[in-house]
Chains A and B, each alone.
Chain A
Amino acid sequence: MKKTLPFLIAVLVLAWMTALLPVSAGAEPAKTMLTLYEGPKTMTSSQTASVTANGYDLFVYDVMVNHEHIWNADTQPTTTPMTYFDFDGKVRLEIRMPGLEHPVENAEVIPRSWGITPEVADGTVRFTITEPGQYTVVFNGSVHRALHIFANPPETDLPDFGDPDVFYIGPGEWVMDAIALHDGQTLYLSGGAVLHSMISVANAKNVRICGRGIIDGSDYPAWNQPGSYARVPVDLNHSRDVSVEGIIIANSNCWNLNSYSSRNVRIDNVKIISGRQNGDGFTFQSCTDHLVTNCFARTWDDSLVIKNYSGSTKGITFRGMQVWTDLAQSMEIGYETDKGLTLDPEICDVLFEDITVLYNFHKPVISIHNSDDAFVHDIVYRNIVVENAFMQGDNGNNKELIEMTLANSSWSTVRDEFGSIDNVLIDGLTVLNTPDGKVPRSRLAGHDEEHRITNVTLRNVTILGQPVTTLKEMKLSVDDYCENIGIR
């Protein structure tokens, strides 16, 4: 034993040194591959923020967001800075915020799971990243002028630009009323591009939208204003085998990435920031087989939302998402669950997995509002982290952490029939912060003996650092029309 211990120590020390070899033994460090995108020459970089990556200036965009956490048909958005680049390796970011009222004294990089503690000195924020992803920096403890940094991985699988079915939009500022994509077509929107337009994929298959550029709706008044209408930046309609990858959607005058009665859709690394009326993020109606991964949605209306407009919904997965909800719900099923008045409507086989809610300022984080007559079942929420559960609700209502209801609403189409909710699993729910340091309330409410909420299971719930193992600790109210509701 005496001989074994020194040997083990030696092995451990050697292992430690081996891990340090690239730095300490003079080995050639891997070079960082960094791709920067000039902004259009018609635009100027933000006066609010300046950002460098490994010493190189980044173009910073000011994009619309909204800090009014209650519905207002005439709301006026404000802006926040956003920048992006691609890299592989290591990037040292330096941020200055001349647009803030006060010099930067402290900063936080979120999601917290990055584990980054930035250095703040002389009004400059510095930190290093080694993984592609979405980073948000909050300054001086205020969400105003938070900086969104989209650090993409290098582009792969570029389309064949010689193919006549591939449309290439390069860097620069571009405008076009709309772009309709048809069977087999690809739209590549280069990094550095700002495209004022809307992209429609209607009755089409095998369509791809990719690149690093921005689809921008700032030219258009909010859709509900006189003379305006909804200019949906990416609108999939009765289509299949569609992919959307890598782009940014900002300043939309309505909802953002809409899919309607479509199937087999893949969405990856799409970033959405909205600040105007009905600015829902990823919104799917009566869709099947949609997989959404590694995306970001900061929205002034529901962030991730599933509805039924013309049939049933089946097989929707959101995985590895970051969400910031300035208005409405973060992960919403409903309210419309049978707008198309179809027979036996369902919403089923839905998975929300590895979702980080950076902030929710308004309504429930997890919600199923079955306000028509659908059968909503087999819904799973797995590994949900809510960094800031700041739901203020509307005049004190709808500020739950979790809410499931069977009730008519102003969005109901079916008025005299009701549906049900069955088999919902919430496995892994962590809330890190609440405004009052208390557990937020949650609520489940069925409608009557025949229209019930059944078989809802919560497990691995931790709120404010404390495991929650009873409905009472969870502050989960359950009415007489709920059955087999459990937490462990």
Chain B
Amino acid sequence: MKRMLSFLAAAALLCAPAAVPAEDTEEIETVVTVVSAPDQTQAERPPCFPDPSDNFIQLPDTENYALHKPVTAGAHTDVYVIGNVNDGKTDTYWESKGWPAEATIDLQGTFTVSAVAVCLNPSSIWEPRTQEIAVWISADGETFTEIVPAAKYGFDAETGNRIRIDFESVDAAFVRLVFTMSTASRTGGAQAAEICVY
């Protein structure tokens, strides 16, 4: 028994210190899977998300009379000022502070108009929502006439996050959109990245 113990102890002592450096230097048998990258020269759109722009609501290809013209509104939320609605950029936007929300554009002249468009940021993170909008016009900026009564319009990134309101041609020097409702979950007011008048 004594011999056996001595043998075991010796074996253990031999094995134990040997195990530590062996771990440090041994080649670890490894089964490797390398996930290869495709040949690319630039970042691309993921193939699983086809470009939806073919489905976008088309806007008139005529002049947008509202672009960069004077525009006024009531109180706005945070930094989202009314001037963003006709700066030509859909990545800036106006957000009113409460309801109803009026945005009035001075076209700086009388034009024959037949459509307005309201655009949100086309990004799909802008959740689908409905906004209720009416269209009013004026010749002098004082007296306004409703030409399209309030109706609900759906905004969806699948169709460009934009809506188009067509109406009978009419002369106008001022165009006012009156927003009365939105179903968006994180806003307390109207939102528009661009308001266009054609």
> A13-B9, A41-B38, A191-B35 are contacts. A174–B43 as well, Cβ < 8 Å?
yes
With contacts A42-B42, A174-B43, A174-B45 taken as known, whether A200 is within 8 angstroms of B127 at the C-beta atoms is yes
B157: Cβ under 8 A from any A Cβ: yes
- Shortest CB-to-CB span from B140 to chain A, Å, is 36
- Complex: A344 Cα to B44 Cα, angstroms: 49
Contact present for A38 and B37 (CB under 8 Å): yes
The answer on a CB contact under 8 Å between B36 and A171 is yes
From the candidates A33, A90, A171, name the one contacting B38 in the complex (CB within 8 A).
Answer: A171
Contacts of B29 in A (CB 8 A): 29, 31-32
Given contacts A180-B127, A192-B37, A200-B124, contact A13 B5 (CB under 8 A): yes
> Which residues on the B side are within 8 Å of A167 (C-beta)?
46, 48-49
Are A38 and B30 touching (Cβ within 8 A)? no
Chain B residue at minimum C-beta to C-beta distance from A180:
B124
Q: Is the CB of B34 within 8 A of A36?
A: yes
Question: Would A173 and B44 be within 8 Å (CB), given that A17-B12, A20-B19, A238-B185 are in contact?
Answer: yes
User: With a CB–CB cut-off of 8 A, which chain A residues contact B91?
Assistant: 227, 229
B30 touches A196 (CB 8 A): no
Contacts of B37 in A (CB 8 A): 38-41, 171-172, 192
* Chain B contacts for A35, CB-based, 8 A: 32-35
Q: Is the CB of A176 within 8 A of B49?
A: yes
Report the count of interface residues on A (CB-CB < 8 A): 64
Q: Which residues 6-65 of B sit at the A interface, judged by CB distance below 8 A?
A: 8-9, 11-12, 15-16, 18-19, 22-24, 27-46, 48-49
User: Residues of B contacting A171 with CB < 8 Å?
Assistant: 35-38
- In the assembly, what is the distance between CA of A192 and CA of B5, in Å? 55
CB closest residue in chain A, given B184:
A202
Which of A16, A24, A227 interacts with B18 by CB under 8 Å?
A24
Contacts of A174 in B (CB 8 A): 43-46
Closest residue on chain A to residue B92 by CB atoms: A227
A6 touches B49 (CB 8 A): no
Q: Is A416 an interface residue (CB 8 A)?
A: no
Q: In the bound complex, do residue A34 and residue B127 qualify as a contact, i.e. CB atoms below 8 Å apart?
A: no
Task: Convert A441-477 into 0s and 1s, putting 1 for each residue whose CB lies closer than 8 angstroms to a CB of B.
Answer: 0000000000000000000000000000000000000
Question: Chain A binding site: helix, strand, loop or mixed by DSSP?
Answer: mixed
A409 at the binding interface (Cβ < 8 Å): no
Q: Which residue of A lies closest to B41 (CB)?
A: A42
What is the CB-to-nearest-CB distance from A182 to chain B, in angstroms, rounded to a whole number? 9
Which B residues are in CB contact (< 8 Å) with A172? 37-38, 40, 44
Q: For the complex, give the distance between the alpha carbons of A200 and B126 in Å.
A: 9
Are B125 and A36 neighbours in the complex by a CB distance under 8 Å?
no
Known contacts A6-B1, A23-B22, A176 near B46 by CB under 8 Å: yes
In the bound assembly, the distance between CA atoms of A235 and B39 in angstroms comes to 31
List the A side residues contacting B16 at CB < 8 Å. 16, 20
What is the bound-complex CA distance between A306 and B30, given in angstroms? 43
Nearest chain B CB to A277 CB, angstrom units: 15
| Distance of A167 Cα from B18 Cα, bound (Å) | 51
Q: B122 in the interface, Cβ–Cβ < 8 Å? A: yes
Q: Would you give the shortest CB distance from A197 to chain B, in whole angstroms?
A: 8
Kindly report which residue of chain A lies nearest to residue B10, judged by CB atoms. Answer: A13
Docked Cα-Cα span, A20 to B180, in Å, equals 76
Given A23-B19, A32-B28, A90-B28: A173 and B43 within 8 A (CB)? yes
Contact with B along A1-45 (1 / 0, CB 8 A): 000001001100110110010011000010111111111111000
The answer on a CB contact under 8 Å between B35 and A195 is no
Cα A42 to Cα B39 in complex, Å, equals 8
- A237 touching B5 by the CB < 8 A rule? no
Query: Given that A17-B12, A34-B33, A167-B48 are contacting pairs, would A6 and B5 also be in contact in the complex, using a CB cutoff of 8 Å?
Result: yes
B6 to chain A, nearest CB (A): 10
Other-chain residue from A9, A17, A169, A238 in contact with B15 (beta carbon distance below 8 A): A17
Nearest opposing residue in chain B for A88, CB measure? B31
The answer to whether B33 and A36 touch across the interface, beta carbons within 8 angstroms, is yes
Bound form: Cα–Cα A171–B136 in Å:
52
Q: Which A228-265 residues sit within 8 Å CB-CB of chain B?
A: 229, 235, 237-238, 260-261
Contact check, A200 vs B125: say whether CB atoms are below 8 A apart: yes
| Pick from A31, A119, A198: contact of B24, CB under 8 Å | A119
Task: State whether A169 touches B28 (Cβ < 8 A).
Answer: no
Asked if A192 and B35 make an inter-chain contact with CB atoms under 8 angstroms apart, the answer reads: yes
Of the residues B27, B46, B92, B127, contact of A195 by C-beta under 8 Å: B46
**What CA separation (Å) do A179 and B124 show in the bound complex?**
6
Q: Is the CB of B39 within 8 A of A13?
A: no
Determine the distance from Cα of A299 to Cα of B16 in the docked complex, in whole angstroms.
Answer: 43
Considering the complex, give the chain B residue whose CB is closest to the CB of A170.
B38
Shortest distance from the beta carbon of B13 to any chain A beta carbon, whole Å:
9
In the complex, the answer to whether B5 meets A54 with C-beta atoms within 8 Å is no
Beyond the given A20-B19, A172-B44, A179-B124, please list 15 additional residue pairs across the A-B interface where CB-CB is below 8 A: A17-B8, A31-B29, A35-B35, A36-B35, A38-B35, A39-B37, A128-B23, A168-B48, A174-B43, A177-B122, A179-B49, A190-B35, A192-B36, A202-B185, A237-B186
**22 A-B interface contacts by CB (under 8 A):** A6-B1, A6-B2, A17-B8, A24-B18, A24-B19, A32-B30, A38-B35, A89-B30, A90-B28, A92-B28, A172-B37, A172-B38, A173-B44, A174-B45, A176-B49, A177-B123, A179-B124, A179-B125, A180-B124, A180-B127, A202-B125, A260-B186
